[in-house]
Structure 1
Amino acid sequence: MTCIETRHAKAALIAMLNKTDRNDAKGIAQMMRTGWFRAVHVKSEGAQTLRALLVGRKALLGKVLDMENMIRGLLRPFGLKVGEISVGRFDARVREIMAGKKELEVIVTPLLDARGAMRLQLAKLQRLALAAARSDNAVRRMMTVPGVGALVALTFRATVDDPARFRKSSNVGAHFGLTPRRYQSGQTDRIGGISKCGDELTRAMLYEAAIAILTRIPKNFKLRLWGLRLARKKGLKRAATAVARALAVLLHKIWIDGTTFRFGAGGKRGRVAAAA
């Protein structure tokens, strides 16, 4: 069975005057006959399971944060401010500031209980993700790159699934939409922002890892130094996007080579720190 790329198929079928199921079937058959289609990779069951874990964790984290922000908003009209507080002390802080307000306690206490239950389930998913990272050799090797945590490596692992489907590591950045769009027609030749095609979650994780490399990692290495030079010229956001693209290439290279990150190694002009 061959699965075809949906956007490519839509662009081909949109030329038909009348969109019907019969015309769609004819158009797809014509695409298959002429070979004018783009096959997509069907992920393995293991990759889909890992993906479900990561998406579920992200969704639950979002709900927990929404609940905490809602509790803060409910208390604010009464002049009660939670302030900056750690996750573990949030519940105690809220109960402390609303002590003595019986009517308010009746409303907010069930919300705190729901928030606590969600935090417990989120911790379970977090432990599952960390266990999956420890049990995967490729993920452990990716985590040797500074700034790449377990969630970043797991997300990259689940999305790529099979590293052999990329002939070149340099193609991975384009697959995740981290390369610029280009429009050329006659005398017009315009290079725009990144394409943002591919998996949004992986792209966001790579971007977060790039920000960590540029702003939080104290030890210098060639990828970070290249990103810092670019940030001084183009700004932090553009530099982080470029570092994220280079990071995707580096992680794929580490995966297929079976190597680990080594400080001091670097590719051409020091753009990408190499594996060793």
Structure 2
Amino acid sequence: MLIIGLDIHRAFAEAVAWEEGRLRRLGRVDMRRDLLAAFAAKLSPNDVGVIEATGNATSAAAVVAPHVKKVGIANPKQVFIVAYAKIKTTIDADVLAQLYASGFLPEVWIADEPTQALRRQVTRRNQIVRQRSRLKSVIQSILHSHLIPSCPHADLCGAKGRTWLIEQVVPQDERLAIDGHLREFDRLGEDLQVIERDLVRSALEDEGVKRLMTIPGVDITVALAMKAAIGDVSRFDDPQKLVTYLGLNPSVRQSGQVRPTMGGSPSRAVVMRAACSSRRPGRPLVLPDRCEPSPCGVRARRGQHVAAVATARKLSVVIWHLLRRARVTRGLDPPCMPRSLRDVELKAGSKAVRGQKGAAHAYNIKSHREEERRWVEQAEGAYARLVAGWNPRGPKRVGTDAANEARR
């Protein structure tokens, strides 16, 4: 059995082979699908391939995998020698092969093709949203440069915002620039609708996404982003591993302060956004002990920012239970779930049916809404009375001080 180390780049890959404690160079391989497949066809079915995680590592692994026993993708952040190597040539391929042979190679999880497609679509949507936000900022900066105040309407590029823009007096060249930015904004909006239509169609076929939408603050966008980031939830044996994967677990610094790990992944930002909007007026709290300003809450003891991270951490635990154990939360109002699913169906291209009472028609009756609100307020009041006398340090044990003094 040979261990094939591949240090792949954009145009070529350096290949080495580890056999019985010795390294042997295999030369360079052009990063083209046909040439890489021809190189992989020369390998033995018992060989193992090792690749460093890069932008094209997944495609390269898919080409090599049918010809070898296994293909592992190494995490460059955890492989200290690879991540901080001063010479980025065949040394990486050598180290990858040696680490795998010794059993110390940290590998990353390779998602299946549907999950990879979902991740790509979610990434494209996020990029378009950022570009549209940047165009709004550019238009607003043009107005500020000519001493024009901010738009009084919520959406600068909406119908009211554009009517307000036409009334503003700016030079002719600036007017042409604003019109060009608006046309680009509309074009990106069309692309966004196509991507969102494809995303919601995949969401309608996924029961896990529907279960995530039962959490207050988690809409179809957040649910799809979390599903794409997590992938196969069975690879997390317990909720704490998912918390660590999202970068929300606390870590102890040398200064003695406990801080959450700063995971820069987009999934962490998505969970934080969902956690900040999980508290809605008139609905039961999913995570009341984190976001409530009661004396026993984290917000009162540690501040609003720490409470937001704690809420996101507990929300990730809820997500794990929903995906792993197929449970449904009770945080969402019962009439709202059919309405949310119907909105998803309309975004997916379903025809609108008018003149019929849908499953969420009861939510339009004021008496039903007021009754549900009273139930929620009663539940929140009962929870507040339950935790009113809670001691965060726990009950004091009798004889503990005396026992400590005896040990000293």
TM-score range, shorter chain: 0.7 to 0.9
**Which has the higher relative contact order, 1 or 2, with Cα contacts under 8 A spaced 6 or more apart?**
1
Q: How many residues align?
A: 258
Shift of the 262–21 alpha-carbon distance from structure 1 to 2, 3 Å rule, reads same
Question: Which one of the candidate residues 132, 135, 146 is aligned to 2:216?
Answer: 146
Q: Which residue pairs with 1:273 in the alignment? A: none
Q: Which residue pairs with 1:211 in the alignment? A: 276
Q: Distance in 1 between matches of 2:246 and 2:217?
A: 19
Q: Which residue pairs with 1:200 in the alignment? A: 265
Q: More helix by proportion, 1 or 2? A: 1
Verify: 1:57 aligned to 2:125, yes or no.
yes
Q: Which residue pairs with 2:164 in the alignment? A: 93
Q: Which residue pairs with 2:311 in the alignment? A: 243
Q: Deviations over 1:42-65 (max 9, x none)?
A: 011111111111111111111111
Three-state SS of the structure 1 residue aligned to 2:218 is coil
Q: Distance in 2 between matches of 1:77 and 1:170?
A: 50
Three-state SS of the structure 2 residue aligned to 1:53 is helix
Q: Which residue pairs with 2:143 in the alignment? A: 75
Q: Distance in 2 between matches of 1:192 and 1:209?
A: 23
Q: More strand by proportion, 1 or 2? A: 2
Q: Which residue pairs with 2:193 in the alignment? A: 123
Rg larger in structure: 2
Q: Distance in 2 between matches of 1:158 and 1:45?
A: 11
How far has the Cα of 1:217 moved from its partner? 4.8
Question: Which structure 2 segments of 5+ residues have no match?
Answer: 1-70, 332-378, 388-408
Q: Distance in 2 between matches of 1:160 and 1:61?
A: 22
Three-state SS of the structure 1 residue aligned to 2:256 is strand
Shift of the 222–47 alpha-carbon distance from structure 1 to 2, 3 Å rule, reads closer
TM-score by structure 1 length?
A: 0.82
Counterpart of 1:97 in structure 2: which amino acid? Q
Q: Distance in 1 between matches of 2:172 and 2:90?
A: 66
Counterpart of 1:159 in structure 2: which amino acid? A
Q: Deviations over 1:149-189 (max 9, x none)?
A: 11111111111111111111221011111112234xxxx67
Q: Distance in 1 between matches of 2:269 and 2:252?
A: 22
Q: Distance in 1 between matches of 2:90 and 2:191?
A: 47
Q: Which residue pairs with 2:291 in the alignment? A: 227
Shift of the 166–227 alpha-carbon distance from structure 1 to 2, 3 Å rule, reads same
Q: Distance in 1 between matches of 2:91 and 2:133?
A: 47
Q: Is the 8 A contact 1:213 1:224 kept in 2?
A: no
Q: Which residue pairs with 1:34 in the alignment? A: 102
Counterpart of 1:123 in structure 2: which amino acid? Q
TM-score by structure 2 length?
A: 0.57
Shift of the 82–120 alpha-carbon distance from structure 1 to 2, 3 Å rule, reads farther
Q: Deviations over 1:106-146 (max 9, x none)?
A: 34322222222222322333333333323311000011011
Counterpart of 2:325 in structure 1: which amino acid? D
Q: Which residue pairs with 1:163 in the alignment? A: 233
Shift of the 25–129 alpha-carbon distance from structure 1 to 2, 3 Å rule, reads closer
Q: Distance in 2 between matches of 1:80 and 1:196?
A: 39
Q: Is the 8 A contact 1:177 1:196 kept in 2?
A: yes
